[in-house]
Amino acid sequence: MSGVPYAPYAEVIGDPIAHSKSPLIHGFWLKALGIAGEYRRAHVKAEGLAAYVAERRADPDWRGCNVTIPHKIAMMDLVDDPGDIRGTIGAMNTVVRQPDGSLIGTNTDAAGFYAPLAELDLEGAPVAVVGAGGAARAVLFALARAKVGHVTILNRSPLKAMALLAAFGLKGDVVGLDAPLPPAALLVNASSLGMTGQPPLELDLSPLPEGAIVYDLVYAPLRTALLRAAEARGLDIVDGLDMLIGQAALAFELFFGAPPPEGRDEELRALLTA
């Protein structure tokens, strides 16, 4: 904990974690609102997750954490109240400490992911999703609620992807990462491919129709090779910052008891892309 007595703090935990932009986002909002709190990053490996949770739950200054790769599934077993997360999204990205030390878990990724698509009518539209990890679960949960049509999942591990289709009651198919894309109206990269330090995502976008949207959840780098290829084809793009800011806003209010300041998103995006 910090040397500052009674200063509330929250964290983002993961492995790797150095790339995380969450401290910048929450730090920007804390400063803008004049809240005497901190938001840090903590490098937590899979084998250290249970010890991290046990230690932090005893710290009254710790308001909770955001959870990223590779802990979103494992964290569900470590909180006291996972709400309906296990039976719905099945992955946890936010843990909030209650004053009595109990831990509540939730997921703010699905709402954050869907926010930039909310104005579109995706009902019945064919979609393609790369990945079948924690982020893909939030994406598929949101897409199922939007009543999309045929869903093609491209993933290294086919069984995980098949289980996700079934879990969310989606009609679709599962193919390998080297399969040609379907003519999807929306392509989402919810894998870690293309992220700094990870292998590239190599897709031929030519099967996508005019007007298709390419949405990359990866935000480090922000302008991924996938988004550059989509722009070169004249397709609409959504980068990972919209989702990142959206999911962070919901978590911020849970940690610090106030919503982020309004009308500051452009300033925040500029800070995040500087």
* Contacting residues toward ligand NAP, per CB under 6 A: 68-70, 72, 109, 112, 131-136, 155-157, 160, 190-193, 195, 198-199, 217-219, 240, 243-244, 247
Closer residue to ligand NAP, CB minimum distance, 94 or 191: 191
Q: How many residues does the chain have?
A: 274
For residue 93, the minimal CB distance to ligand NAP (Å) is 7
As a whole number of angstroms, the distance between CA 146 and CA 244 comes to 20
Q: How far apart are CA 90 and CA 216, in angstroms?
A: 21
- In one-letter notation, the amino acid at residue 159 is L
Residue 140 or 185 having the CB closest to ligand NAP: 140
CB 165 within 8 A of CB 143: no
Amino acid found at 6: Y
Strand partners, 222: none
Residue with structure tokens 């004249």? 234
> What is the closest distance, in whole angstroms, from the C-beta atom of residue 263 to ligand NAP in the complex?
21
* C-beta closer to ligand NAP: residue 70 or 207: 70
Minimal distance in Å, beta carbon 1 to ligand NAP? 26
Asked if 126 contacts 185 with a C-beta cutoff of 8 angstroms, the reply is: yes
CA atoms within 13 A on the CB side of 44: 27
Our CB check for ligand NAP shows the closer of 59 and 236 to be 236
Q: What is the DSSP letter of 180?
A: P
- In the bound state with ligand NAP, the residue whose beta carbon lies nearer, of 89 and 218, is 218
Q: Which two tokens stand for residue 234?
A: 């004249």
Residue of 31, 72, 160, 171 marked active site: 72
Least Å distance between CB 23 and ligand NAP? 14
CB atoms within 10 A of CB 217: 28
* Four-residue CA torsion sign, 168, 170, 174, 179: negative
21 is catalytic: no
User: Closest approach of Cβ 5 to ligand NAP, in Å?
Assistant: 33
Neighbouring CB atoms inside 10 A of 46's CB total 11
Least spacing, CB of residue 167 vs ligand NAP, in Å: 14
Cβ neighbors of 104 (< 8 A, separation 6 or more) are 79, 80, 81, 83, 95, 96, 98
Comparing CB distances to ligand NAP, the nearer of 124 and 176 is: 176
> CB nearest ligand NAP: which residue?
133
Active site residues: 72
